[in-house]
Amino acid sequence: MDFEGLVAILGALVGLPWLILHYVTKWKTAPKITDEDERLLDEMQLLARRLEDRVLTVERIIAADNPDWKPGLGTSQSSYLSDRQADRPIDTRFERNMDRRN
């Protein structure tokens, strides 16, 4: 057997499994999201929802007071909030306040 054939066989039998196992161990030792990070992400998502609600409320008030006002991009629900829209309680305070004004 010549030298090139031996290198090819060793490369296939030793090199490829070593390369695969090397990257599998690198993947397993990669940093994971901690419970603290997950809690922080949940808290930030809740804060983003609350801020979005506030912006929508302000835009509804401006639209009610000024009919010529052109609403901006924030008048519809953001796509990142749409997955939880059914879980969110409906805030009827704005409609009740508008009924009292009229």
Q: What is the pLDDT of residues 35-83, one digit of tens each?
A: 999 999 999 999 999 999 999 999 889 888 888 877 665 545 555 455 5
- Residue 32: the pLDDT is 84
Q: What is the dihedral of CA 58, 60, 65, 69, to 10 degrees?
A: 100
Asked whether the predicted pLDDT for residue 91 surpasses 70, the reply is no
Q: Which of 42, 51, 44, 40 shows the shortest CA–CA distance to 77?
A: 51
What is this structure's pTM?
0.44
Q: Contact 91/60 with Cβ under 8 angstroms?
A: no
Q: What is the pLDDT of residues 26-47, one digit of tens each?
A: 988 888 888 999 999 999 999 9
Cα(9)–Cα(98) distance, rounded to whole angstroms?
81
CB hemisphere CA count around 31 (13 angstroms): 4
Helix (H) and strand (E) counts for the chain?
Answer: 4, 0
Quote the tokens at residue 41. 């992400």
